[in-house]
């Protein structure tokens, strides 16, 4: 029997096995890198969404309270000086 790589009954040599395993290892490395990259992207996306939700939970009440305070200050300012127009920026500049 001669060493023919296309003949299933021919004996395998160490070189043939090494070459086959090297190709298999390269394919597995590529697939593993691809899967890890996909998983990392999914995890990062989930963490980003979770952080966005947490920030919304924390900042929404604060912004609502600040909005109420600004509206109260605006109403009080207009009641004392109805002839003046008011905006938050001009109001803060007034006290500097």
pTM of the entire predicted model = 0.44
**Res. 88 pLDDT band, cuts 50 70 90:** low
* Distant-in-sequence, close-in-space partners of 84: CB < 8 Å, separation ≥ 6: 77, 78
Whether the per-residue pLDDT at 16 is higher than 80: the answer is no
CA–CA separation, 36 vs 3, rounded Å?
40
Alpha-carbon distances of 47 from 42, 51, 59, rounded to whole Å: 9, 6, 18
Q: What is the DSSP string of 37-58?
A: HHHHHHHHHHHHHHHHHHHHHH
Whether the per-residue pLDDT at 93 is higher than 70: the answer is no
For residues 71-96, give the mean pLDDT: 65
**Res. 84 pLDDT band, cuts 50 70 90:** low
pLDDT of residue 76: 83
């Amino acid at each position: 029997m001669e060493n023919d790589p296309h003949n299933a009954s021919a004996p395998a040599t160490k070189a043939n096995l090494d070459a086959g395993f090297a190709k298999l290892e390269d394919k597995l490395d590529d697939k593993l890198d691809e899967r890890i990259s996909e998983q990392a992207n999914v995890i990062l996306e989930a963490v980003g969404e979770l952080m966005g939700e947490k920030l919304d939970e924390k900042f929404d009440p604060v912004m609502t309270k600040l909005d109420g305070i600004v509206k109260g200050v605006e109403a009080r300012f207009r009641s004392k000086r109805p002839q003046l127009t008011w905006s938050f920026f001009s109001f803060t500049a007034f006290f500097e």
